[in-house]
């Protein structure tokens, strides 16, 4: 009961809970090309090059780490966004003080810090709390543009905070830079006011020693991390559809359904200010979500670039199957369909496609593809199916191999049996090369293999071309 009362005191029900849930949802969707340095031992089972004495002192040190305080235990069980800033600050202080001694000793033992130890990162954005100060320290204190055309980060921009650990992006958060708000996690927090005016692509080191990369969100980041209604067309597939349709600046393209607005944004960028996109969505809630996401990106863009993103998408809340009146008088250079029964919508759309134009269709299941082809066979529409494809993307890990202490591994040339002199020379030269801060070109082995986590199937893409019979 006492624990329950204590927990209730610690919890501050937060309206940003949805952000926490979204982060967890997004975590599963993070797929990146990993190019950080990797630990050779973990991969190859090589022996440590630390001395036995140093290894045993480190083992002792890790064993001596203190047990958790009641505050840490209870707050660790709760969603991080439910903790009040005061509790977060107390917990930070507590941990900083009690681990300071251990960390100092550890730093002395291993000179090169191999990275942060925090295992889990969550985040929420909160209004500023008076008296609570950000622990952030900037690796580059003074910010001024150094490249022609460079713009410093401004309020209203859409940014991504990224934390990498052991070869992988552990945490990726999309946020809008707002005065008084803050980015928060187990690593401490960063005041948005401390980010504004800085350069994009900067590492911010928190007081707890965690490096967070803060950069501008790409359109790909935005569509993957923005709030969703239905599932989006994945960027790899959207890019291939744009290629299939050969969308060019100035084109007029029909899209349906609008869904969450991801494809609408890619189309909007492809057709540019001289082109237009007609986006048709049957569900009102999805239609509204698509409009919100589109406008969210446009607003942030004008702050980022100081110029408007083209206002070139007309969103309509309608059923494409019965949208002939809406389409009357229109001609399309291409069409992109992402809806459950595309063959039902093709009779309304096909008359408005330019002869020779392409309609690219996104379908999750192969049974939908056969339904589509069967529909085409029965409808006798002037549409040829040119291709049915999947777009596989395979992530790889490619990085210099590292020892446990963070130093580079060194390639070992073969030595003929009995040639002790050559063997001794190799050992000496390896020692020399390892002690130097940057081993010679070609002397470091690399880890290079497909990443164990891969994106699974997303969609089949069908390319239909309107022909003249
Ligand atoms: C998977 S979502 C599309 C996602 C979108 N491509 C994106 O990237 O965000 C499919 C959408 O098609 C809509 N839809 C289904 N049938 C439709 C129809 N006959 N006319 C218009 N929209 C339709 C659904 O309501 C749903 O929002």
| The CATH number of the domain covering residues in 157-217 | 3.10.330.20
Q: Using pLDDT thresholds of 50, 70 and 90, give the confidence band for residue 302.
A: very high
Of 260 and 117, the structure prediction assigns the larger pLDDT to 260
Are 270 and 244 in contact by the 8 Å Cβ rule? The answer is no
Closest Cα to atom 24, ligand 1: which residue?
A: 257
How far is 270 from 305, CA to CA, in rounded Å? Answer: 18
Q: What is the pLDDT of residues 58-77, one digit of tens each?
A: 444 444 444 445 555 555 55
Are 360 and 334 in contact by the 8 Å Cβ rule? The answer is yes
- Choosing from 224, 237, 258, 336 the residue with most ligand 1 atoms within 8 A of its CB, the one to mutate for a pocket test is 258
How far is 422 from 444, CA to CA, in rounded Å? Answer: 20
Mean pLDDT of 301-325: 97
Are 275 and 252 in contact by the 8 Å Cβ rule? The answer is yes
Atom from ligand 1 closest to the CA of residue 229: 27
Does residue 339 line the site of ligand 1, with CB under 6 A? yes
pLDDT for the residue numbered 11: 32
How far is 32 from 26, CA to CA, in rounded Å? Answer: 13
The per-residue DSSP string of 206-231 comes to -TTS-EEEEEEPPHHHHHHHS--SSP
Q: What is the pLDDT of residues 93-151, one digit of tens each?
A: 444 333 333 232 222 222 222 222 222 222 333 333 333 334 444 444 557 878 899 99
pLDDT for the residue numbered 31: 28
pLDDT for the residue numbered 26: 35
How far is 183 from 192, CA to CA, in rounded Å? Answer: 7
Classified as helix, coil or strand, 139 is: coil
Most trustworthy range by pLDDT among 8-17, 140-149, 335-344, 437-446: 335-344
Atom from ligand 1 closest to the CA of residue 283: 25
List of residues 6+ apart from 383 with CB closer than 8 A: 346, 350, 359, 376, 464, 465, 466, 467
How far is 261 from 289, CA to CA, in rounded Å? Answer: 7
Classified as helix, coil or strand, 294 is: helix
The two three-digit tokens of residue 213, written as one number: 């990369």
How far is 138 from 195, CA to CA, in rounded Å? Answer: 9
Q: Using pLDDT thresholds of 50, 70 and 90, give the confidence band for residue 81.
A: very low
Does residue 168 line the site of ligand 1, with CB under 6 A? no
Does residue 323 line the site of ligand 1, with CB under 6 A? no
Atom from ligand 1 closest to the CA of residue 290: 9
Q: Structural domain boundaries of the chain? A: 157-217, 226-392+460-466
Does residue 321 line the site of ligand 1, with CB under 6 A? yes
pLDDT for the residue numbered 457: 95
SS3 readout for 305-323: HCCCCCCCEEEEECCHHHC
Most trustworthy range by pLDDT among 7-16, 106-115, 244-253: 244-253
- Choosing from 228, 230, 264, 313 the residue with most ligand 1 atoms within 8 A of its CB, the one to mutate for a pocket test is 230
The per-residue DSSP string of 71-85 comes to HHHHHHHS-GGGB-H
Q: Using pLDDT thresholds of 50, 70 and 90, give the confidence band for residue 417.
A: confident
Q: How many CA atoms lie within 13 A of 431 on its CB side?
A: 5
Closest Cα to atom 13, ligand 1: which residue?
A: 257
Q: What are phi and psi of 121, to 5 degrees?
A: -130, 125
Residues of the chain with pLDDT > 90, as a percent, come to 55
Q: Which of 127-136, 260-269, 408-417 has the lowest mean pLDDT?
A: 127-136
Mean pLDDT of 432-443: 74
The two three-digit tokens of residue 238, written as one number: 């959207």
> 364: which DSSP letter?
S
Atom from ligand 1 closest to the CA of residue 339: 12
- Backbone torsion region of residue 94, taken as left when φ is above 0, otherwise alpha when ψ lies between -120 and 50, otherwise beta: alpha
Does residue 230 line the site of ligand 1, with CB under 6 A? yes
- The fold adopted by the segment(s) 226-392+460-466 is Rossmann fold (3.40.50)
- Is a pLDDT exceeding 70 seen at residue 362? yes
Of 83 and 192, the structure prediction assigns the larger pLDDT to 192
Residues of the chain with pLDDT > 70, as a percent, come to 66
Classified as helix, coil or strand, 258 is: coil
How far is 208 from 406, CA to CA, in rounded Å? Answer: 20
By DSSP bridging, strand 137-138 and strand 158-165 are: unpaired
The two three-digit tokens of residue 61, written as one number: 């040190």
- Is a pLDDT exceeding 80 seen at residue 381? yes
- Is a pLDDT exceeding 90 seen at residue 252? yes
Give me the chain's average pLDDT, please.
76
pLDDT for the residue numbered 71: 54
Does residue 283 line the site of ligand 1, with CB under 6 A? yes
Q: What do you get for the CA distance between the two ends of the chain, in Å?
A: 79
């Amino acid at each position: 009961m006492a624990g329950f009362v204590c927990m209730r005191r610690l919890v501050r029900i937060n309206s940003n809970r949805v952000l926490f849930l979204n982060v967890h949802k997004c975590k599963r969707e993070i797929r990146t090309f990993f190019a950080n340095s990797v630990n050779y031992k973990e991969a190859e089972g090589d022996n440590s090059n630390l001395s036995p004495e140093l290894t045993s002192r480190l083992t002792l040190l890790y064993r001596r780490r203190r047990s958790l305080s009641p505050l840490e235990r209870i707050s660790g069980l709760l969603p991080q966004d439910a903790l009040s800033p005061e509790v977060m600050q107390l917990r930070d202080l507590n941990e900083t003080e009690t681990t300071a001694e251990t960390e100092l000793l550890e730093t002395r033992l291993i000179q090169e810090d191999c990275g942060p130890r925090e295992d889990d990162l969550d985040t929420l954005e909160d209004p500023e709390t008076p008296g609570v100060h950000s622990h952030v320290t900037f690796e580059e204190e003074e910010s001024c543009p150094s490249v022609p055309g460079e713009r410093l980060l401004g309020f209203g921009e859409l940014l991504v905070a990224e934390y990498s650990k052991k070869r992988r992006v552990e945490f990726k958060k999309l946020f809008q830079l707002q005065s008084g708000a803050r980015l928060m996690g187990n690593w401490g927090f960063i005041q948005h006011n401390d980010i504004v005016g800085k350069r994009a692509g900067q590492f911010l080191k928190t007081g707890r020693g965690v490096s967070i990369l803060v950069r501008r969100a790409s359109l790909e980041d935005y569509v993957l991390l923005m709030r969703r209604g239905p599932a989006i067309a994945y960027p790899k597939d959207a890019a291939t559809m744009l290629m299939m349709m050969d969308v060019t600046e100035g084109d007029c393209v029909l899209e349906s359904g609008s869904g969450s607005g991801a494809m609408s944004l890619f189309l909007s960028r492809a057709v540019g200010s001289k082109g237009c996109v007609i986006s048709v969505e049957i569900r009102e809630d999805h239609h509204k979500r698509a409009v919100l996401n589109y406008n969210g990106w446009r607003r942030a863009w004008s702050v980022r670039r100081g110029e408007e993103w083209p206002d070139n998408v007309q969103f309509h809340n309608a059923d494409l199957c019965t949208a002939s009146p809406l389409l009357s008088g229109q001609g399309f250079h291409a069409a992109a369909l992402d809806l459950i029964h595309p063959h039902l919508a093709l009779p309304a759309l096909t008359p408005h496609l330019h002869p020779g134009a392409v309609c690219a269709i996104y379908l999750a299941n192969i049974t939908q593809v056969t339904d589509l082809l069967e529909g085409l066979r029965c409808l006798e529409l002037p549409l040829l199916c040119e291709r049915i494809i999947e777009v596989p993307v395979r992530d790889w890990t490619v990085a210099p191999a590292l020892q446990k202490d963070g130093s580079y591994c060194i390639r070992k040339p073969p030595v003929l049996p009995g040639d002790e002199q050559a063997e001794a020379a190799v050992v000496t030269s390896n020692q020399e090369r390892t002690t130097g801060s940057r081993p010679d070109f070609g002397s470091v082995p690399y880890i290079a293999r497909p990443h164990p986590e891969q994106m699974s199937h997303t969609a089949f893409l069908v390319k239909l071309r309107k022909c003249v019979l």
